[in-house]
Amino acid sequence: MTHQEEAYLLQKVSKTNLDKASPAIRRLYRKLAVRKTKREYRLPLLDVDCFGSKSGALIMPSRNNDRVLDRFFNDDLECIFEQRLQGYNEPTSVHSPYTNRLLKPFIRRDTSCQPLWLRIMEELCMKVNKGDSQWKPLPRASIDYSYIRPQHIPAINSLCCQFFWPGIDLTECLQYPDFTCVVLYKKLVIGFAILVPYVGYNEAYISFFFTRPEWRKSGIGTFMLYHLIQTCMGQDVTLHVSATNPALILYQKFGFKVEEFIQDFYDKYMPPNSRECKHALFLRLSR
């Protein structure tokens, strides 16, 4: 049982009436609560697989994940602050293990886009330096769209932990960079999108799609979604989106249709104290 599964089970057991529960349920609840407390204080946990192994090596159980999102969960994520903060924008080509193609350094370099955050920063700089006659505004850098590389992963994981849920590790997407997109302003990651090809017969799945809140409504998300759709021509594109997510309007503009409403879809992933909507809509773009 993974850390994520333990937290989800503890959340479910906590919601029941323990006074009327069986002794087995009470023992399970207490064991899960103790393991949660030990993790908070960084104390060692009893691992039966490791304890019973003669070689002392950790035996990891195989995971048969029914959901695509379960692939991107990892209990052990550690990186330094600089890696979490910035990305990487050196113009180097990317080799794709999936298609054996050499991908170009950039998908697009946009010099005309003016997000709200950039306009505010420029206005602040002008306000602060208005008394300096020698001050000149710095030239605005381009907004670069490129394929995800290993240097981007720590910053993207940090954004996922902040805006989605803890424990997300997107290292797997390096196996198919053709179907990814990361957006940077200089070295700051401001958005990313990941599509998993062929999750089913003639079907691709958008697992993660995100733009920083202060950089939205400037066409960044629109281009990322357009790029993902173009990379899998001939396949249906599917995704899950929170029922209250404003990106639903963007998906509908591209022709996505709602197929199903799923209650408590994100209940397994989000922390118990999360205020985000845990219901999801399943959307499909038919080809």
Residue 223 has which token pair?
Answer: 């281009």
**Res 287: pLDDT:** 80
Q: pTM (2 decimals)? A: 0.73
Express each pLDDT in 186-245 by its tens digit: 989 999 999 999 998 899 999 999 999 999 999 999 999 999 999 998 899 999 999 999
**Res 140: pLDDT:** 86
Q: Which helix (H) or strand (E) holds 210?
A: strand 203-211
Residue 246 has which token pair?
Answer: 């404003």
**Res 59: pLDDT:** 45
Residue type, 102: L
Q: DSSP states of 232-270 as a string?
A: TTTSEEEEEEETT-THHHHHHHTT-EEEEEETTGGGGTS
Residue 59, judged by CB atoms within 10 A of its CB (0-12, 13-18, 19+), counts as exposed
How many distinct helices (H) and strands (E) make up the chain? 8, 10
Q: Mean pLDDT by 10-residue block, N- to C-terminus, for the chain (287 residues)?
A: 68 70 83 80 70 48 54 52 54 86 94 92 92 87 94 91 88 93 93 93 94 95 96 93 93 96 88 83 94
Alpha helices in 149-245 (DSSP H): 153-163, 220-231
CA distances in angstroms from 2 to 6, 7, 25, 69, 155, listed in the order given: 6, 9, 19, 14, 24
Residue 164 has which token pair?
Answer: 């989605």
| Gyration radius from the chain CA atoms | 22
Between CA 58 and CA 38 the distance in angstroms is 19
Between CA 112 and CA 236 the distance in angstroms is 32
Centre a 10 Å sphere on the Cβ of residue 75 and count the other Cβ atoms it contains.
12
Between CA 195 and CA 173 the distance in angstroms is 8
